[in-house]
Structure 1
Amino acid sequence: MDLLHNAVRPYAWGSRTAIAELLGKEVPAPHPEAELWMGAHPGDPSRVVGADGVERSLLELLTSDPDGQLGTQVAQRWGSRLPFLLKVLAAEEALSLQAHPSAAQAAEGFALEEHAGVPLDAAVRNYKDPAAKPELICALTEFHALAGFREPSRTVSLLRTLDAPALAPYTEMLVAQPDSAGLRALFTMLITLPQTSLSMLLPQVLDACVLHVKEHGEFDLECRTILELGESYPGDAGVLAALLLNRIVLQPGEAIHLPAGNLHAYLRGTGIEILANSDNVLRCGLTPKHVDVPELLRVLDFTCGDMPVSTGEEVAPGVRVYRTPAPEFELSRLDVADETRIDHEGPQIVLCTSGAAVLTNARGDEVRLARGQSVWLPASDPAVLVRPDGVESAQLFRATAGND
């Protein structure tokens, strides 16, 4: 049971305040800070701080002792690889519109690119590993996102409300086939528009959105989002693709699960993200990075409807679990006012997001977690008692491997 030192990823869309404030550092930060990583991802593994103060890479620790650190069950399935990655994600601007492959799609795509000799660090590489990348985001602040294809009849209402002349043929496509197949056809046409057609259609859509916002219409939030994306990514077909997606606002404690094939983009806000330990991303737009439309279409899931929002399942007083089908991870939220027991057969990472807490294992070892700090609990510490440190309650998030 040891404290972790974690890497901060400075992507351009990040916040200069959210992660710095969580970690008790100077605000604003000198550069945007987008993600705080907790785990053993090869790109930026956490460092375990031993009782003697010596730091060691968590990745190296797992490689040297997979059974002791991960437990027999996790090690048998995942080898020396920690199957999950926990993050604090802080977005001031929209991330790219993207989807992630299933395990089978990732294995196939990785094998094909390996066989073709595409370097792992090549800009045109789609698959960095043969693993799936499901994820879940739980809001710490109000959190805005696009996720999953909207029910087609609602999208028809939006497109007809905009009433842009150049948009009419595309609207009628969905009217004629208001289902997943119709969405696939419409999405494919919009995302592959020649630049001349895109240059005619997109300005009309943006003008229609301006008019709708001025009139405070039914789709005000959706139109504001399209205008924001159009300003940030002029001439990007991803702006049109965003017209087809659910516009979601999560309140603190609410979460969405993004399975394989779900098209999504985080827009702004701070949240706790847990995901499979993979780098596989297929981008659709809203980015200067590589976009491979044929491969994206191979992995996209055009199932449509409202995006389910979870508040977690209360499994004990103050303990809520956000269950998903993902075998790689499970996220729990602990609002600790009294002593609480947490246990798991495999490894755990615990992050304090509010207040402070003291963790005690069966040997009597104690670790104090201040806000922004996290701790590594190996499988050899299966049961830990948590109590608030002080009169205020503490809020913790716990990452474990999933149960399937």
Structure 2
Amino acid sequence: MDRLTNTIRPYAWGSTTAIPELLGVEPTGEPQAEMWMGAHPGAPSRTERGPLNEVISADPERELGPEAVAKFGPRLPFLFKILAAGAPLSLQVHPNLAQAKEGYEDEERRGVPIDAPHRNYKDANHKPELICALTPFDGFCGFRAPADTARLLEALDIDSLKPYVDLLHAHPEDAALREILTAVLSADHDEMAATVTETAAAAERLGGAYAPYATLAHHFPGDPGVLAAMLLNPVQLQPGEALYLGAGVPHAYLGGLGVEIMANSDNVLRCGLTPKHVDVPELLRVVHFEPTDPGVLRPEADPDGEEVYATPIDEFRLSRLVLAEGSAPRDLTARTPQIVLCTAGTVRVAECELAPGQSVFVPAGERAGLDGSGTVFRATVVV
């Protein structure tokens, strides 16, 4: 098994304190947004045997197990992260597998450089993801009922929003949501900026449920994503609660510390709250426009006390184990590859002692006992 040394990504939206506090180190003063654990070539974890992606590439069946290689190919199919949002992230959506393959192949045929700022598809894979809160965690997820959004907009009493209120009362609901999002993202830039500014002032005045939109407008003045976010369900996760984000579901994270796991992909289509490229036609092709409940997940304990976050995909499986002082050791041995992360207390995986924020990679089939007192998250795959 390999103790992991992980890269921290300094994205501008990252918290300056959350990851240092978890690790028990002094803040640097710079934003620390994500700590990556895995074999993604952009920032692979490092081991005494070398970068994890190179370790796996040297002998995929030994590291991942023959079943995982047969199902997912010779690479770790997930990326595991600690995510610390100190400011809002972009409003975004991910494609399904067929859309990702089609979009990637199309951009390859057209010769769009892989690092071009207007490129949508960096690979041919989908990117389902799961975020599990370590602290209270705020965000938006999925379209709320149009009638609820209509009431939200009506209270702002802004003339330029009244046509959207009328549309929100129209049927079918999916067509109304599509028409509004299209109008918001395609409107004249100056006119939309003026509407967003007026909306922000009204949201500041009203406070309460409107406060998040004033915050968004503070970070992204005049951005149409502020209005797009008003179409979505606000959600606050409590520690231990999670959201599963499948293809086509618009979402944004506002703030908090969490554990995130996703399929190994960089495919993101943005709806706003960003200076980056927004491809409206492609976005509209990918978004699911039906109203939906955010679907907050709470883990379900198996007979051995391992708490599993159930999701409908196989590229990753996330679970949590909480060990009390003096509890019996657990056997984590599995025929699949694993990354084990400690988030509280002190635990041992085989001979590796882990403090909060520390992690290990356990190759398929390697014996791995777990003991100590604390909380760990276990990331693996389903074969």
Q: If the TM-score is normalised by the length of the shorter chain, which range does it land in?
A: over 0.9
2:196/2:227 contact within 8 Å kept: yes
Structure 2 residue 378 is the aligned partner of structure 1 residue 401? no
Look up the equivalent residue of 2:369 and give its one-letter code: L
Whole-Å separation in 2 of the counterparts to 1:203 and 1:132 = 35
1:377 to 324, 343, 362: 362
2:122/2:267 contact within 8 Å kept: yes
1:386 to 364, 370, 373: 370
2:333/2:365 contact within 8 Å kept: no
Whole-Å separation in 1 of the counterparts to 2:348 and 2:197 = 56
Per-residue deviation, 1:317: 4.9
Look up the equivalent residue of 2:10 and give its one-letter code: P
SS at match of 1:396: strand
Give the structure 2 partner of residue 34 of structure 1. Answer: 33
Give the structure 2 partner of residue 14 of structure 1. Answer: 14
1:153/1:178 contact within 8 Å kept: no
Greater alpha carbon shift after TM alignment, 293-302 vs 107-116: 293-302
1:332/1:398 contact within 8 Å kept: yes
Give the structure 1 partner of residue 107 of structure 2. Answer: 113
Whole-Å separation in 2 of the counterparts to 1:166 and 1:300 = 25
Whole-Å separation in 1 of the counterparts to 2:289 and 2:54 = 40
Look up the equivalent residue of 2:347 and give its one-letter code: A
Structure 2 residue 86 is the aligned partner of structure 1 residue 101? no
After superposition, the C-alpha distances for 1:83-122 in whole angstroms (9 at most, x for unaligned) are: 0010000010000111111010000000001111111111
SS at match of 1:162: coil
1:336/1:386 contact within 8 Å kept: no
Query: Given the superposition, is the C-alpha separation of residues 31 and 260 from structure 1 closer, same or farther in structure 2, using an over 3 Å criterion?
Result: same
SS at match of 2:332: strand
SS at match of 2:32: coil
Once the two structures are superposed, the pairs formed by residues 71-150 of structure 1 within 5 Å of their partners are: 71-150=65-144
Whole-Å separation in 2 of the counterparts to 1:43 and 1:402 = 24
Look up the equivalent residue of 2:335 and give its one-letter code: E
5+ long unaligned stretches in structure 2: none
Per-residue deviation, 1:316: 3.6
Whole-Å separation in 1 of the counterparts to 2:201 and 2:79 = 41
Per-residue deviation, 1:371: 1.8
Whole-Å separation in 2 of the counterparts to 1:229 and 1:242 = 9
Whole-Å separation in 2 of the counterparts to 1:258 and 1:22 = 25
Structure 2 residue 294 is the aligned partner of structure 1 residue 329? no
RMSD: 1.3
Greater alpha carbon shift after TM alignment, 178-187 vs 223-232: 178-187
1:98/1:281 contact within 8 Å kept: yes
Give the structure 1 partner of residue 2 of structure 2. Answer: 2
Look up the equivalent residue of 2:46 and give its one-letter code: R
Whole-Å separation in 2 of the counterparts to 1:200 and 1:57 = 49
1:136/1:274 contact within 8 Å kept: yes
Look up the equivalent residue of 1:333 and give its one-letter code: R
Look up the equivalent residue of 2:378 and give its one-letter code: R
1:181 to 161, 175, 179: 175
1:236/1:285 contact within 8 Å kept: yes
2:193/2:221 contact within 8 Å kept: no
SS at match of 1:375: strand
Whole-Å separation in 1 of the counterparts to 2:349 and 2:244 = 29
Identity %: 51
After superposition, the C-alpha distances for 1:132-152 in whole angstroms (9 at most, x for unaligned) are: 000000000000001111111
Structure 2 residue 153 is the aligned partner of structure 1 residue 159? yes
Give the structure 2 partner of residue 216 of structure 1. Answer: none
Count of residue correspondences: 380
Structure 2 residue 297 is the aligned partner of structure 1 residue 297? no
Per-residue deviation, 1:127: 0.6
The TM-score normalised by the length of structure 2 is 0.96
SS at match of 2:169: helix
After superposition, the C-alpha distances for 1:192-220 in whole angstroms (9 at most, x for unaligned) are: 1112331342233223223322xxxxxx2
Look up the equivalent residue of 1:238 and give its one-letter code: G
Once the two structures are superposed, the pairs formed by residues 215-226 of structure 1 within 5 Å of their partners are: 220-221=208-209, 223-226=210-213
Whole-Å separation in 1 of the counterparts to 2:193 and 2:63 = 55
Look up the equivalent residue of 1:373 and give its one-letter code: Q
Once the two structures are superposed, the pairs formed by residues 187-198 of structure 1 within 5 Å of their partners are: 187-198=181-192
Whole-Å separation in 2 of the counterparts to 1:130 and 1:98 = 18
SS at match of 1:355: strand
Look up the equivalent residue of 1:386 and give its one-letter code: L
Per-residue deviation, 1:178: 5.8
The TM-score normalised by the length of structure 1 is 0.91
Whole-Å separation in 1 of the counterparts to 2:87 and 2:301 = 33
SS at match of 1:326: coil
Whole-Å separation in 1 of the counterparts to 2:290 and 2:153 = 19
Per-residue deviation, 1:318: 4.0
